[in-house]
Each structure stands twice: as C-alpha cells, then as structure tokens.
Amino acid sequence: MGRKFLLVLCTLMTAVSLGCGQGQSSGDGGGLNGKLTLTGSSTVAPLAAELAKRFEQLHPDVRIDVQSGGSGKGISDARSGVADIGMASRALKDGESDLTAHQIAADGVGLIVHSSNPVSELTNEQVVAIYTDQVAQWNEVGGGDVPITVVHKAEGRATLEVFLAHFQLKNPAVTPDVIVGDNEHGVKTVAGSEGAIGYVSIGTAEADVKAGVPIRLMPVAGVAATTANVAAGKFPMSRPLNFVTGDDPSLLSIAFIEFCQSKEVHDLIVSQYFVPIQR
Amino acid sequence: MTSSSPNTLFPFNADRWLAFVTRTCALFSAIIVLLVVTFLALESWPAIQHVGFGRFVTDASWHPLSGLFNLIPMIVGTALTTIGSLFIAVPLGIGSAVFGCFYAPPRLAGFHRRSVELLAGVPSVVFGLWGLVVLVPLLAPLGGSGQSLFAATLVLGLMIVPTIALTSQSALQAVPSQLISGAAALGLQRWVIVWRIALPAGKSGIKTGLLLATCRAMGETMAVLMLAGNVAKMPDSIVSPIRTLTTNVALEMGYATSEHRAILFVSGLVLMSVVCIVILLMDFAGGWKNG
C-alpha cells in the first residue's frame, strides 16, 4: 500500500516536471527585440503592465519592465534616462518642456448619487460643505428631508487624489460616513442608500447606469459626466495619463507607445476603468 | 514504544523513516509562523524606526499620507467585531451541535450536518456581497448608512457558526458512549445528560473550536471590508462605521508606496500580536489543557 502510493507520487511528480519544460518555444520574432523600462505613476502602472503583457505576446523577444513610484519619479527617470519611458498621471508642467508627453488614456472621476435623489446639480462649494460635514441634510442643498451619507475612498486611491485635488480638500478634513475600496464597492454603496453621495471612475459608473443600477452621475461645474467629455478633455474632474519620453526615444519605445495609442488596446484601457482617447 | 527493525517480511526500517518524516512535517508547520512574523517585522521595521511606537497610539487619527498613524480605532474595531460575533455564534453553534447529537432524528441529523458543512464552504466574498446588497439596505433605517459595526458583526457571527458547530459536534460525538448510556440508565433526563455529562466531557474539543472561530473572526477581511463602513474612527454607537486591522491593510495595500506600505505592515504586525495575546489568554483561562 505504502509503496504503491510512493510509486504513484513519483510518477505524478515526474509528469509535472516534464510538463513544465514544454510550451516555451514557438512564436515569430516580429522584428522587435530588446528591453524597455517604464517607471512612474502608480495609477498608470497597472494599465502599463497590462499593455506590456499584450505587447510581449505580439513580440516575444521584447521584455518590458514596469515599476511604480509616482509621477515625479517617472518624469525624473525619463529625463535622466534611467527609464526608457516615464509614466505620469498629469500633464507636463512648464519646467518640463524638454520632455514629450504621449497621452494614452484619460482618467475621469464623477460624482454619483442615488437615482431617486431630486438634486440635479451641486456647486463646488456645496460639495466641499457636504464632504466636510457643514451640510448634513439634503434639504439644505435643495433635496428631500434625508440625511446625507458621505461615501469616500481609502487613502492611496487615484480617484481620491483626483477628487481632493479638484475640490482643493485635505484628506484629514473630510468626514466620511463610509469608506469604500474599489469603484464597484462605491457604486453598490450609493445604490443601496438613498441619501448617499460618492465619487467613482466615470467608466465604471457609466457601465453600471447602463446595466440598470439605481445611481446617477452628476455634472461637475456644468459639464455632464460622460466618457465622451473626458476623452475630449472638457470634463474638469479628470486628468491625462501620459507616457513621457526624452528627446530621441528608441525605436522600440516609439513602437510601444504607438501600440498603446492604437485602437487594439482600447479594451485593456476600458477594463482598467480609464477612458481611451479618440484620434 | 518499540521501534520496528528490518526483517524479511518488511525490509524497510519504517519507524526511523516515519520519525524523520513526521519530524520534518512538525518542524515545517511550526516554522511557517516564525517566518511570517519575521517577514512582518522586517517589512515594518523602517516604519517603526522612523515613526516610533508611541505615535501609533497617540496620533490624532489615521491618515497615513498626511503623517497621522493612530492604530487604536482599528484595534478596537477588531476587538468589537470579534467579541460581538462570538456572542452570536457561540450559542447558535453549540446549540446546533447539541441538537445534531442528542435531539435530531437520525435522518434530519445527517441533513442538518450537511447544511452546516455547506455553510462552512460559503466563500467570505459571497457573505460580503449578500450583506452589502441585502442586509445593509435593511439596516439603513436604524441610522447611518447601514454599513456599520452591527452589519459586520452580524455577518461575521454567521460566518463562524459552522466552525463552532462542526468542532462541537465532533467533540460531543467523541464523548464515550458508556458515559451517555450510563447516565441514561440512571434515569437522567436528556437535558441533564447534555448539560452535566456530554458538554463537560467534550469541553476540550469545544474550546478548540472556539479558538479557531475567534482566530477566523479576527482574520476575516473581505466580508468585513464590504460591510463595516471602514471609517478609521472610534465608534460611538452600534450603527457607527468601523475599521478593523485586516481591512485597513486590504483597503490601502494595493495602492500604497514605500513608507505607507511599511506602515501597513505595522498594522499586520499588531494584528499578529493581538492574535498571540488572545491565544495565550485562552490557553491560561482555567484548565485549558486538561479540559
């Protein structure tokens, strides 16, 4: 009995180890080879990693290394040549005109409320008042007699940064009733509470509205929160996601950036809740 | 005990090999926890060195990106949800085990046991989703958003019922049948047999179940994250939002860089210490070992 078991075990292990050796051949070069290093924004990094994975599948001789560390690091690494491409989740500033930004997507954040909420629009001051607990009832901003449930994100989330930057809030000043993790969690929380207000990625919210979830996107500063407006750069609570390069990027860098700006990766951009740029 | 020696019928020195194999297994399972603690300590060391132990309890709030690192609300959150869930799960679990062993007709007992086992297999994210979509809107009229200490405790309680129920039932079934039949022959009523004979005899197994359930409640992350509201503030009522040590890590780890990340490892280290303290306390609490 014992020896039979051992025999089976050994056979299995041999089979597994043999199996591991296979499946690494095949694939046609495609002409491109070499290694690219991307560093920078932790918002862009997960998207860049997905883009890199697909690019590597198309060009098996290319290796792409993606590291996050903040937009500032991306820009300084692109300038110093430590990285081939820097990632930045903002537009280039005046002092950075020696670099070239290649926009690959946009990130838009929209305010959402329950679909039964009669308030159609809030001013920036009203949103700030709600998030800092100066306004606690919807009837103070033209709604029904319902207490406001403030839905906020956990520290470190990109949507939180965009939201705080747009309304010029400091996070310790915000008095949330609920803190959510990802966008879907935020949507479900607002959909389950009539007095709730929150903010999520516009891509997620649009998809959920289409699927019949009882939430509504609010306009910000009079601009409707749609992915089309984000892509056109009209929506205020948004930011570009850029790849940044120095003066003369390598052929491989150019090929990768062009690939990331092409239509064939729009599904990846959408799956990360970002907005593809129409060209 | 005698160890076997090689002979013509069985040429291997089986006991020597078994001793070696079991020793390796024992060493390995004991060493894992040491490795985990070492890893946590190493990862959180830069933060402890930089921030100092004091500020984790004296800072004004938990806003790691603004340099405020108070962990006390999260420790309180973990303690409250765990204790609350035990209050729900212990009576339910032990009651269900007693029913399965002493009161249920055999066929129903089998069905009952299968359904409790099934409950043990429900993934925590399913509990969380159910709580978020069904339970939270029901609790919202009590005040707040519905995502609260109460919601998290309730669902956590339901989640650890099967751990307590199944271990208690096994413990009760392992009580020697002579004790039960002897008591029955003396003409004792069934509830007396349960209360004075079976439960005391199975105490040790039931306590192990309680320990496992406590640890599961302290470590549960996903369901609590979806239901607790996660505001890192001292709760002032049962419908206040609350954040536990585990959800603190889960919420922020994915997006945390360098120092923020190290601070979150401190959160994990604190949770490990809380678990250690609880296990030690339960170990010392009245005749645990000989039960």
pLDDT at B286: 54
Q: What six digits make up the tokens of A108?
A: 């838009």
Strand intervals (E) in chain A = 34-40, 62-68, 85-88, 100-114, 149-153, 178-180, 196-201, 215-218, 238-245, 275-276
Chain B CA closest to residue A152? B231
In SS3 terms, B6-31 reads as CCCCCCCCHHHHHHHHHHHHHHHHHH
Which range is least confidently modeled, A101-105, A247-251, B113-117?
A: A247-251
Kindly report, residue by residue over B113-149, the tens digit of the pLDDT. Answer: 999 999 999 999 999 999 999 999 899 888 778 899 9
The residue type of B197 is I
Q: What is the mean pLDDT of chain A?
A: 85
The stretch A77-84 carries a mean pLDDT of: 90
pLDDT at A33: 84
pLDDT at A4: 56
The stretch A211-224 carries a mean pLDDT of: 93
> Coil, strand, or helix at residue A48?
helix
Kindly report, residue by residue over A13-40, the tens digit of the pLDDT. Answer: 444 444 443 333 333 445 788 899 999 8
Residues in A closer than 8 angstroms to B146, CB to CB, are 192-193
Residues in B closer than 8 angstroms to A178, CB to CB, are 145, 147, 229-231, 241
Angle ∠(A162,A188,A204) on CA atoms, nearest 5:
50
Residue corresponding to tokens 């194999």? B21
CA dihedral A255, A257, A258, A262 (to 10 degrees): 130
Q: What six digits make up the tokens of A96?
A: 């950075």
The distance of A43 to chain B (nearest Cα, Å) reads 8
> Please, which pLDDT band fits residue B290 given cuts at 50, 70 and 90?
very low
What residues contact residue B283 under an 8 Å CB cut-off, 6+ apart? B289
pLDDT at A20: 43
Residue corresponding to tokens 């601070």? B263
pLDDT at B117: 95
Q: What six digits make up the tokens of B34?
A: 């040491």
The pTM score is: 0.79
Q: What six digits make up the tokens of A267?
A: 């599904």
B107 CB-contact burial (10 Å; exposed 0-12 / middle 13-18 / buried 19+): exposed
pLDDT at B5: 64
Q: What is the mean pLDDT of chain B?
A: 90
> Please, which pLDDT band fits residue B3 given cuts at 50, 70 and 90?
low
Strands A275-276 and A100-114: antiparallel
Q: What are the backbone dihedrals phi and psi of residue A233, each rounded to the nearest 5 degrees, phi first?
A: 80, 15
pLDDT at A46: 86
Percent of chain A with pLDDT strictly greater than 90 = 51
Q: What are the backbone dihedrals phi and psi of residue A274, each rounded to the nearest 5 degrees, phi first?
A: -105, 170
Mutation to test the B interface, candidates A138, A149, A179, most B Cβ within 10 Å? A179
pLDDT at B67: 87
Q: Of A197, A202, A218, which is closest to residue A162 (Cα–Cα)?
A: A202
pLDDT at A22: 39
Per-residue pLDDT at B287 exceeds 60: no
Nearest Cβ partner for A178 among B137, B230, B257: B230
Per-residue pLDDT at A10 exceeds 50: no
Nearest Cβ partner for A42 among B243, B251, B257: B257
Nearest Cβ partner for A178 among B63, B241, B256: B241
Per-residue pLDDT at A5 exceeds 70: no
Kindly report, residue by residue over B93-106, the tens digit of the pLDDT. Answer: 999 999 999 999 99
The stretch A75-82 carries a mean pLDDT of: 88
Nearest Cβ partner for B132 among A156, A176, A192: A192
CB-side neighbour CA atoms (13 Å) of B143: 8
Got the DSSP string for A115-145? TT-------HHHHHHHHTTS--BGGGGTS-S
pLDDT at A228: 87
CB-side neighbour CA atoms (13 Å) of B50: 14
Neighbours of B229 (CB within 10 A): 32
The distance of A207 to chain B (nearest Cα, Å) reads 18
Q: Quick check: A216 and A71 in contact, CB under 8 A?
A: no
Q: Of A208, A219, A128, which is closest to residue A175 (Cα–Cα)?
A: A128
Q: What six digits make up the tokens of A19?
A: 């199996």
The conformational region for residue B227 under phi > 0 = left, psi -120 to 50 = alpha, else beta, is alpha
pLDDT at A277: 84
Per-residue pLDDT at A279 exceeds 70: no
Which residues share a beta bridge with A178? Answer: A151
> Please, which pLDDT band fits residue B291 given cuts at 50, 70 and 90?
very low
Kindly report, residue by residue over A145-162, the tens digit of the pLDDT. Answer: 999 999 999 887 878 988
Is there a contact between B140 and A193 if contact means CB atoms under 8 Å apart?
A: yes
Residues in B closer than 8 angstroms to A170, CB to CB, are 66
Residues in A closer than 8 angstroms to B144, CB to CB, are 149, 177
Residues in B closer than 8 angstroms to A177, CB to CB, are 144-145, 229, 231, 241
Chains A, B: CB pairs < 8 Å: 80
CA-to-CA distance for A154 and A70, rounded, in angstroms?
18
Percent of chain B with pLDDT strictly greater than 70 = 92
Kindly report, residue by residue over B34-93, the tens digit of the pLDDT. Answer: 999 999 999 999 888 888 888 888 898 999 888 889 999 999 999 999 999 999 999 999
Q: Which residue did the predictor score with more confidence, A192 or B286?
A: A192
